[in-house]
Structure 1
Amino acid sequence: MTTLDDLRQAIRLMSPAGAHTIALSFAACYVGSLYVSNKARLKFEVQAKNPDNPRQERPRLAHERWRDDPDVIRARLLAVTIASVLSCLGVLALVWLRIEGVGAFETLALTSDYLGLDWSPWKLTARSILQHLVVPILFLGPLYATYLNQTLPFQAFWDYDEYVLRKYFSFMGLRTYIIGPITEEITFRACVLAVFHMGGVSRKQMIFLSPLTFGVAHVHHAWDTYNRYGRNLDALKRALIGSSFQLFYTSVFGFLVAYVFVRTQSLAAPITAHIFCNTMGFPDLLTELRMNPRHRKSIVAAYIIGIAGFVYTLPRWTQ
């Protein structure tokens, strides 16, 4: 009986340059899908200014289309879902073209293996659970501060409607916490790394090169920021600084989830890590210390323990 290992050995590798080209095409397909449909495109008034307060968004004009408008979000969610499916079909086509003498079932099985799709999610083991806890350990400091603020689930200031229904199941919530992370991980992790694997790219390159594509794919948000803040010098500075930070943050996050994907050979842990990070946001230690002056030492200690725990568990719990 032919095994997946046998199929991996039988596949004809493409060149690394070809792999990089195809990976970039997946990223271009994902980002480009946001601008194909008129309903998904943003629309700004060129003459609109914000002279009063350059640190705040200018008022939205009635005929404009901003990225947080419900109809824009709805169209973009459909677009990236289609783009992700097309990327998966692209990987399937590559496997079919580069392996000979196997049937449709074997081709689907190998494609699923490359994409990290585990079809036995109900077989929970200690290892399969622990790999989802690595990133929450890193956020031990912010989680402890959230506990002090009494806004963890079922604490005094936690509200189901606010923190679950409105947060996760509004159009913005679906984009930020559910469909966005899932489609991005499918495209920028599963599909891109599958092609890198077929291109014979080393694991180090897979971990440290693929996230750059993910980071660059977020740079297009600079155009949105520039227009929302008045199309002036201050708006340009804000757009450049914001996009540079987002490029750095998303690239670093990409290194992490690419490492987890390569180690676990599963898409599940990168998706949960992505959703969790989007939920927590970027840690803000100074604000947390200012809000809880009596717990400054314990908050700092929680941050240090979380970082140390993350460093210890990352290579062990994702093996």
Structure 2
Amino acid sequence: MRIKYTTTFAYCLSFLIAVSYVLVLYVVPRSRVAAGEPPATRNDPIAVRTRIKKVLILSLFWIAALPVILTYFKVVHNIVHGISVLGIIPGLKYTHDAFIFRIDYVFVFMNNTAKSLLLVVILFAGPLFDYVVLQKNQFGRRTNIIRNFYLETRNIWGFRNVIVGPFTEEIVYTSCILGCLYPLNKIGLDVLIFVTPLYFGVAHLHHGYELYSTSTYKKLFIVKVCLAQFAYTSLFGIFTNYVFLRMGNVWSCFVVHSFCNYMGFPSFKPSSNRTSMKTVYYLLLIGGAIGFFMFLKPLTHSKLSPIKWH
């Protein structure tokens, strides 16, 4: 009896994809187990390099495997259609049972990526003002955000945080998980946007286990950290899912994820103690949040959206 690609099967597949990302991080080399070495912290250089390789390989595996799975179960028409579902290749779109690759779609794709970045720049107007105008380096000069971002990627920890982490997480938790669900046309937008990000939120709870096993933090503190991280990552997952379904472009999700990881959670305390600078900062903080919601729909509108929006 041939298994059918039902909504239940799709949910099970999405769960498998989500869990695989966490499990692969904890596959310990036999050499370390045999030597009886203690578990490495997530910032141990060897652990960072090893995990980078693992999640990159896993991401490539799902990029290759999911289109095959969708084609086998006739969810999509062919492999190319399956690849287009993932929103990875600029200019690639599958509509009305026909494969389309157009140069103008490449520019639309790039424009969409730029618009999504502009959206989070608006959201971070206050922190950006603080970072670029108020903060000074050791020589008393204003910071250069582009240069600092580049320097951040030059070390293994920064490369993980702003390049590999965002890329692999968006491939797995946005592109692949949505890619195995939305082509069915049986799952509501509310589920796609608001429920599936819980995978992303729950996946970050493993950091609590790492804190517990490799540190002396109190359990209550670890619980608070986990709950805060779960809430933040789930909300962020809602945003990237919305962006992906509006634009059909996983690179937009990667760009905003990378930017947000680099900026960190917005601070409610500016670097300057001057009243005028504080006033400007708080106005930009509030204005950025308002502007974000005002421009959310227009800046994510795209002809490359994989679904119909009413």
Pick the TM interval, shorter chain: 0.7 to 0.9
Q: CA deviation at 1:201?
A: 1.2
Where 2:78 maps in the other structure, the secondary structure is helix
Q: Is the 8 A contact 1:215 1:250 kept in 2?
A: yes
Preserved contact between residue 208 and residue 255 of structure 1 (Cα < 8 Å):
yes
| Structure 1 residues 268-306: Cα deviation after superposition (integer angstroms, max 9, x where no partner) | 1110010000000001113x1664544121111101211
Hey, what's the Cα distance between the residues in 1 that align with 2:267 and 2:73? 48
Write the distance in 2 (CA, Å) between the matches of 1:161 and 1:260.
Answer: 24
Which residue number in structure 2 is paired with residue 84 of structure 1? Answer: 59
**SS at 1:132 equivalent:** helix
In structure 1, the residue corresponding to 2:218 is in which secondary structure?
helix
Alpha-carbon separation, structure 2, partners of 1:312 and 1:291: 30
CA–CA distance in 2 between the matches of 1:222 and 1:119?
37
Give the whole-Å Cα distance in 2 for the aligned partners of 1:40 and 1:84: 25
- How far, CA to CA, are the matches of 2:31 and 2:147 in structure 1? 27
For 1:149, the equivalent position in structure 2 comes to 134
In structure 2, list runs of 5 or more residues that go unmatched. Answer: 92-104, 302-310
Call closer, same or farther: CA 1:39–1:114 in 2, change over 3 Å.
farther
Mapped pair 1:30 → 2:7: no
**AA aligned opposite 2:14:** A
SS at match of 1:198: helix
Matched residue, 2:124: 139
Q: CA deviation at 1:94?
A: 1.9
TM-score normalised over the length of structure 2: 0.81
Match of 1:296 among 275, 278, 301: 278
Residues 113 and 251, structure 2, Cα contact 8 Å, conserved in 1: no
In the TM superposition, residue 90 of structure 1 has moved relative to its aligned partner by: 3.0
Cα distance change on mapping 1:70 and 1:18 into 2, 3 Å: same
Kindly tell me: are residues 165 and 314 of structure 1, through their superposed partners in 2, closer, same or farther at Cα, counting changes over 3 Å?
A: closer
1:116 aligns with 2:87: yes
1:145 and 1:137 mapped to 2: Cα distance? 14
Post-superposition, which runs of at least 4 consecutive aligned residues in structure 1 deviate over 3 A? 39-42, 124-128, 159-162, 289-294
Name the TM-score, length of structure 1 as normaliser: 0.79
Q: Identity of aligned pairs, percent? A: 27
Looking at structure 1, the residues matched to 255 and 11 of structure 2 have their Cα atoms a distance apart, in angstroms, of 26
Q: Distance in 2 between matches of 1:20 and 1:139?
A: 34
User: Distance in 1 between the 2:199 and 2:32 partners?
Assistant: 22
Q: Across the two proteins, how many residue pairs are aligned to each other?
A: 280
Are the aligned partners of 2:200 and 2:233 in contact in 1 as well (CA < 8 Å)? Answer: yes
